[in-house]
């Protein structure tokens, strides 16, 4: 813990000094809101290689500890169980006016803890949980199924996201559109009420819409769905695992159905359903902000290279939630460069690679709720400044 705190303090100091101009403590008010201080990531080919990046990372950061990884699972499950126990045992004893306060607090706290478990399952999909792939897939399948995520289905599409990140033609999710493909009604939503409506839909429905209808995902020549083994997202050799993912979802549905029969639907929604809505909202927030920022370029297939694409992401600061979310947001640049590094080494790896990346590294300390509002208004579509390199725009 002492070592972790030292790395965290060092990273925070380095970042608040103004990484690539994204954050400058001397910029305030309207000037800060205008984003005029933001310096874009270079759209040119990086002067370093992936090998140089890996060499800069301390060797122990690549080591995965089965015991340590499981300790985070157990810790999160204990906190989640304790929260559930308190809500079930004591909330009905509270006066109604206090219960109206206690339940929202429970929903938010439980949603945060379950998001942490979601992150661990995501790590399993990257084979960053342990040295044993079957252990990773077993743990990931159980955790993600419990959160209504088709584990293998998303693992495979997410792997393709990592393989094609930043490519407008092949990336899998949060693929920005050129102005010519923006729906006609978007110009009428480019105002505070329209932005609020868009964010509400994104946070509440974005995740299930993506899994079911491939909303915000890469366009395919036919209907694409994460629950369909014959979806164009998957190859023939992956289809059996999609069936297994669906069985995991059916198992969770059956368990919840049996609980609803005995305890009632209101009980299931209060203890599980509403926190799951918060999990989905946090997930969309995290992934959206990781890949949406006015300083980030995107590339068409003529200019895209893997390393250039892997740098089309930004680290964000979620305060105390950084640790609750197992540092998925504030070490995401390192994650896209070396996805098999476990989260408990990601902070140290980030410090190391920041020296190599230089101006290609992006960090934004804007509070996530402010960043959501800002990016929803600034990053509406992309247009090229030069051949094959696209930047976010918002003017209609």
Question: What percent of the chain has pLDDT above 70?
Answer: 91
The C-alpha atoms of residue 296 and residue 332 are separated, in whole angstroms, by: 14
Domain positions in the chain = 62-393
pLDDT of residue 396: 84
pLDDT of residue 161: 97
CA distances from 23 to 332, 335, 376 (A): 17, 21, 19
Buried b (16+ CB within 10 A) or exposed e, 79-112: bbeebbeebeeeeeeeeeeeeeeeeeebbebbbb
Note the pLDDT tens digit of each residue in 237-286: 999 999 999 999 999 999 999 999 999 999 999 999 999 999 999 999 99
| φ, ψ of residue 64 in degrees (nearest 5) | -110, 125
- Residues comprising the chain, all counted: 396
pLDDT greater than 90 at residue 2: no
Q: E strand or H helix at 170, and its extent?
A: none
pLDDT greater than 60 at residue 26: no
pLDDT of residue 34: 47
Q: Averaged over 318-335, what is the pLDDT? A: 98
Q: Averaged over 46-51, what is the pLDDT? A: 97
Task: Give 217-223's long-range contacts (Cβ < 8 A, gap of 24+).
Answer: 217/157, 217/172, 217/173, 217/175, 218/170, 218/171, 218/172, 218/173, 218/175
pLDDT of residue 386: 73
> Measured between alpha carbons, how far apart are the two ends of the chain, in Å?
50
pLDDT greater than 80 at residue 11: no
pLDDT of residue 385: 86
pLDDT greater than 60 at residue 4: no
């Amino acid at each position: 813990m002492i070592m972790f705190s030292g790395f965290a303090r060092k990273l925070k100091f380095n970042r608040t000094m103004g990484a690539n101009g994204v954050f400058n403590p001397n910029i305030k008010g309207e000037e800060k809101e205008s984003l005029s201080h933001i310096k874009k990531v270079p759209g040119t080919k990086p002067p370093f290689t992936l090998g140089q990046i890996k060499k800069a990372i301390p060797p122990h950061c690549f080591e995965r500890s089965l015991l340590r990884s499981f300790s985070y699972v157990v810790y999160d499950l204990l906190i989640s169980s304790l929260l559930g126990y308190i809500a079930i045992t004591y909330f009905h004893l509270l006066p109604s006016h206090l219960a109206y306060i206690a339940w929202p607090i429970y929903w938010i706290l439980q949603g945060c803890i379950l998001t942490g478990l979601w992150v661990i399952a995501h790590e399993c999909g990257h084979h960053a949980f342990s040295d044993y792939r079957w252990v990773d897939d077993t743990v990931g399948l159980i955790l993600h199924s419990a959160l209504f995520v088709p584990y293998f289905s998303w693992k495979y599409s997410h792997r393709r996201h990592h393989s094609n990140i930043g490519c407008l033609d092949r990336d899998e999710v949060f693929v920005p559109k050129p102005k010519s493909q923006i729906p006609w009604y978007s110009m009428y939503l480019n105002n505070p009420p329209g932005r609020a409506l868009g964010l509400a839909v994104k946070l509440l429905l974005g995740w299930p819409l993506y899994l079911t209808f491939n909303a915000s995902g890469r366009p395919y020549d036919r209907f694409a769905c994460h629950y369909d083994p014959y979806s164009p997202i998957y190859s023939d050799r992956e289809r059996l695992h999609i069936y297994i993912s669906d069985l995991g979802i059916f198992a969770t549905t059956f368990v919840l159905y049996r609980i609803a029969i005995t305890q009632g639907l209101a009980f299931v929604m209060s203890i599980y359903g509403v926190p799951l809505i918060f999990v989905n909202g946090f997930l969309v927030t995290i992934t959206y902000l990781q890949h949406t920022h006015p300083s980030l370029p995107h590339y068409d297939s003529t200019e895209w290279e893997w390393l250039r694409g892997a740098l089309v992401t930004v680290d964000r600061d979620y305060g105390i939630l950084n640790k609750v979310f197992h540092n998925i947001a504030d070490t995401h640049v390192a994650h896209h460069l070396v996805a098999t590094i476990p989260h408990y080494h990601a902070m140290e790896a980030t410090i190391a690679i920041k020296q190599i990346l230089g101006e290609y590294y992006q960090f934004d300390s804007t509070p996530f709720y402010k960043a959501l509002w800002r990016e929803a208004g600034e990053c509406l579509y992309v247009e090229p400044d030069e051949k094959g390199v696209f930047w976010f725009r918002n003017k209609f």
